[in-house]
Structure 1
Amino acid sequence: MATSCLSDEEKREQANLKAQKELEYYDMSSIDSYPVFKDCDEMLTTPDCFYKNLQSTVYNKLRVEKIPIRLAVKDSVYLSITVAKSGQIKYDSIFKCAKEIDKFKIDSLLQTRLNDLPVIESARKRSIPVSSSYRLPIVFIPVDSLEY
């Protein structure tokens, strides 16, 4: 009597090889669906709804009180924000900053003000929750400016 079954170790190796080949086929640098805020319609999920809600959430956290920096003209910074696969939104750092803005002072202030962002539904890749990172522009307008 002869058998030709694979050992458990050989089965694991074959499964690992198959999984690696499958991962090579899929583009893991992109997502299938954007994170979803409660206000967004899941069936009509677009990047616009996510970005609009993210911008609004960050803006509301920053406008609570004046930001103590001196600016001569309107200027901006780009924030790096991550949505974890658990759905937690987290401010990471300043991605890009104008020369006139004190990057370290603003980063410290942003770390303080953006420390308790909401939990949302995370981005998905092949129906699996994944972490994703985004860049968000924030425009600072001098208080005495008439450009409101």
Structure 2
Amino acid sequence: MKKISVLLCVLILSSCEYFNVKKTSSEAILKEELQTFNWNEVDAYPSFSDCDSSLTKLAGKLCFERVLRRHIMTSLQQEIIIVTQDIRDTIYLEFLLSEKGDLTLQKVEVDSLTVAEIPSIKELLNNSLDSLPKIFPATKRGQQVKTEFKLPIIINVK
């Protein structure tokens, strides 16, 4: 009877899937983890040294946009721009910020009247980016990442 109970226990344990261990490769784990990321959101937005790092995520984004907008507007106000008609236009600037903090103006959406009155507007906008203070790139899970964003600028020339 003892031999039968021992044999029965061995058969039960050997038929159990509990002892079968599935091996998972690191590539499979990485692939699964990458699918859970929301690639459209970052943990921390880009920032300038003027923006306090203890700000909330949204406040940090607003501070970054405010500093960038103020820098561009200050640069444009230093230029002598002569127009024949009053210009009041919203220009949309599309930027690419690299993982290293390099800012590039990708696209400028501007009204044709503004381009007719200020033909060098795109060049002036590009030149305004030359003297920007150091930009700290956005981060995602502790890594610096490339980001794209759109910034509206209101041009008012009389």
Bin the TM-score by the shorter chain.
0.7 to 0.9
Q: Which residue of 1 aligns with 2:106?
A: 92
* 1:20 paired to 2:31: yes
- After superposition, where does 1:133-144 map in structure 2 within 5 Å? 133-143=148-158
**Aligned partners of 2:85, 2:76: CA distance in 1, in Å?**
16
Quote the offset at 1:118 in angstroms.
2.9
2:100 partner amino acid: S
Q: Which residue of 1 aligns with 2:146?
A: 131
* Unmatched segments (≥5 aa) in structure 1: 1-9, 144-148
Quote the offset at 1:90 in angstroms.
2.3
Task: Give the percent of matched residue pairs that are identical in Structure 1 and Structure 2.
Answer: 27
Given the two structures, how large is their TM-score scaled by the length of structure 1? 0.74
User: Which has the larger displacement, 131-140 or 102-111?
Assistant: 102-111
Change (3 A) 1:110 1:132: same
Quote the offset at 1:116 in angstroms.
4.3
Quote the offset at 1:74 in angstroms.
1.1
Quote the offset at 1:26 in angstroms.
0.7
**Structure whose CA Rg is larger:** 2
**Aligned partners of 1:140, 1:91: CA distance in 2, in Å?**
17
Change (3 A) 1:53 1:113: closer
Q: Which residue of 2 aligns with 1:67?
A: 81
Secondary structure of 2:150 counterpart: strand
- After superposition, where does 1:86-125 map in structure 2 within 5 Å? 86-94=100-108, 96-102=109-115, 105-125=120-140
Q: Assess if the C-alpha contact under 8 Å between 2:76 and 2:124 holds in 1.
A: no
Listed one character per residue, the Cα deviations across residues 40-75 of structure 1 (whole Å, up to 9, x for unaligned) are: 110114222111111112222222212355543411
Q: Which residue of 2 aligns with 1:5?
A: none
Given the two structures, how large is their TM-score scaled by the length of structure 2? 0.70
Please give the root-mean-square deviation of Cα atoms over the aligned residues, in Å: 2.4
Q: How many residues align?
A: 131
Q: Which residue of 1 aligns with 2:51?
A: 40
